[in-house]
């Protein structure tokens, strides 16, 4: 199951807030699904797809005996709660660690591809993103229309 809402493009001033919110939302959702399915939940901020899209995915198989999961309600509740300073700090540290794992070639390729004036701009933007900016982006996302797609594969006989 996938849910998607319009996000922001790579060069948008809200790009850092969107990336941080995606990380925070994923952490929140993983704590709210059954433990056996925590690795089956993801949130992606696809800023390379213009104008940007925030995708929430649940790769949870529909097996007999599994409790139903109201994914839409989980997302709505997770977006409605204000982001805390602790969540923001954790998300920022995780994104910065991932950014620091990128190769120099990837950094420069992104800078060239997206006409970025500063190859370290993303890192600086993560540092500069405020709690109020992330909460404002969360409110924007929660007010936007969300598309949902369900693929139901019948069990093999």
**pLDDT tens digits, one per residue of 75-104:** 999 999 999 999 999 999 999 999 999 998
**Residue 17, domain member (yes or no):** yes
Q: What is the CATH number of the domain that holds 44?
A: 3.30.830.10
Q: Is residue 9 part of a domain?
A: yes
Q: How far is CA 28 from CA 12, 90, 121, in A?
A: 25, 12, 27
154 domain residue, yes or no: no
Answer whether residue 19 is part of any domain. Answer: yes
Q: Which domain holds residue 141?
A: 2-61+70-147
**Is residue 135 domain-resident?**
yes
Residues 99-156: tens digit of each pLDDT: 999 998 988 888 888 787 887 888 899 999 999 999 999 999 999 999 998 877 777 7
The residues, any chain, with a CB within 8 Å of residue 151's CB and separated by 6 or more, are 1
> For residue 155, is it within any domain?
no
List all residues 6 or more positions away from 84 whose beta carbon is below 8 Å from its beta carbon: none
Asked whether residue 153 is assigned to any structural domain, the reply reads: no
Where helices occur in the chain by DSSP H, the ranges are 15-32, 71-80, 85-100, 104-113, 121-128, 131-143
Split at pLDDT 50, 70, 90, the class of 60 is: confident
Torsion 74-136-47-127 (CA) sign: negative
142 within domain boundaries: yes
Question: Which spans in 33-130 are helix H?
Answer: 71-80, 85-100, 104-113, 121-128
- Considering its fold, how many domains does the chain have in total? 1
**Helical axes 15-32 vs 71-80, angle rounded to 10°:** 130
């Amino acid at each position: 199951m996938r849910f998607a809402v319009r996000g922001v493009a790579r060069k948008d001033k809200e790009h850092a807030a969107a990336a941080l919110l995606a990380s925070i939302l994923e952490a929140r959702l993983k704590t709210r699904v059954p433990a056996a399915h925590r690795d089956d939940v993801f949130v992606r901020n696809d800023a390379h797809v213009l104008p940007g899209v925030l995708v929430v995915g649940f790769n949870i198989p529909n097996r007999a005996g599994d409790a139903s999961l109201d994914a839409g309600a989980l997302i709505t509740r997770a977006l409605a709660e204000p982001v805390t300073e602790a969540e923001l700090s954790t998300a920022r540290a995780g994104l910065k660690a991932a950014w620091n794992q990128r190769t120099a070639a990837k950094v420069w390729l992104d800078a060239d591809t997206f006409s970025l004036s500063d190859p370290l701009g993303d890192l600086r933007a993560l540092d500069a993103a405020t709690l109020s900016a992330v909460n404002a982006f969360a409110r924007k996302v929660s007010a936007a229309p969300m598309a949902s797609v369900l693929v139901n594969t019948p069990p093999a006989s």
